[in-house]
Amino acid sequence: MVYSPLNYTGNKAKLLNEIFDILPKDTECFYDVFCGSALVAVNSYAKEIYINDTSVEVLSLIKYFIDTPTEKIISNMEAIIEKYNLTYSRVKPKGTYIEYKHEGLSLYNKVGFNRMKTDYNSATAKDMSVLFALVVYGFNHYLRFNKKGEFNIPIGKVDFCNSIYDKTIDFANAIKQKNVHITNCDFRDEQIYNLDQPPKKLYYFDPPYMITDAPYNLFWTMEHEKALLALLDKMNERGVQFALSNVFYSNGKTNHQLIEWSKKYTVHTMKRQYHNANYRRKNHSLAQEVLITNFEKGEK
């Protein structure tokens, strides 16, 4: 599996093995309709991937990984580290930086990070290499913007360390191996779908969840949820394969409507429980993740 340097909220990194154990192995076209970091599409068996999301920013970052030679992504990051005087622990001798218990490297990077954030937010033409650096050095690698469209995550505790460096190279190389088609539409937009094409395609849906906390869930209403379930029923009638990630229970809440709807299909309960990490609250609760498919596991 390839992992993403974007620790995108709600990404499926911890469930990739379980998900791909269930999905057909002979898919030629993989549609990731709510792609987020595109982690699922990148790991799919298909050469042809169709990724869609309503977030322009996350799609622009993915496009940066596709269009920029991998060595250039690394050298851009190194130039930014130098320009903003940020820590670069992977190349410095051990002990160069003292990490304080709850602060990590944030004390070293705060001034430069805030300067970089101001520069990014005031620029008219947004530089994706800078946005990527903001995500890497920002708190928990979150990608979040305020209503004015400004990046508004505070300084994080880590830097462009070995694991993020490796993920950057792996992800950037892996996505360049695919034929990627990008759309920036609401999932109800018909241009995303081509239900008449020959088989060996799979539509994967990882929408905002009704009962969990993520910034993009705020705009997800019962109307969206109903439209999505109706769309999946329509796909099923047309004989098109789909897989839907979601949660049945979380935070003491239950998605009754989804549970009822899922009875028509195959429900795969993920063994790995999902920690509902809400950074505004101290308590982390468990959620029951599921993958709902209109085919049996392992079916080709």
Ligand X SMILES: C[S@@+](CC[C@H](N)C(=O)[O-])C[C@H]1O[C@@H](n2cnc3c(N)ncnc32)[C@H](O)[C@@H]1O
- The residues that touch ligand X, with contacts defined as CB under 6 A, are 8, 10-12, 34-37, 39-40, 53-55, 58, 186-187, 206-208, 216, 220, 224
In whole angstroms, how close is the CB of 75 to ligand X at the nearest point? 26
Residues in the chain: 300
12 or 117, CB closer to ligand X?
12
Task: Name 277's Cβ contacts closer than 8 Å, sequence gap at least 6.
Answer: 284
Looking at the Cβ atoms of 58 and 116, the one nearer to ligand X is 58
Least Å distance between CB 6 and ligand X? Answer: 8
Encoded tokens for 86: 């940020």
Measure Cα distances from 47 to 9, 38, 41 in Å: 25, 14, 10
CA distance 260 to 148: 39
Residue placing its CB nearer to ligand X in the complex, 34 or 165: 34
* Nearest position to ligand X, beta carbon: 36
Strands 241-250 and 253-254 turn out to be: antiparallel
Q: How far is the CB of 237 from ligand X (least distance, A)?
A: 22
| Beta carbon nearer to ligand X, 15 or 80 | 15
Q: How far is the CB of 184 from ligand X (least distance, A)?
A: 9
Nearest to 160 by CA among 235, 90, 230: 90
Pairwise CA distance, residues 146 & 123, whole Å: 16
Least Cα distance to 34 among 199, 248, 220, 173 occurs for 220
Minimum distance, C-beta of residue 187 to ligand X, in the bound complex (Å): 4
Nearest partner of 246 among 221, 218, 225, judged by Cα: 225
* Min dist. Cβ of residue 47 to ligand X (A): 19
Rg (CA), the chain: 20
Residue 11 or 27 with smaller CB distance to ligand X: 11
> Would you say 156 or 208 has its CB closer to ligand X?
208
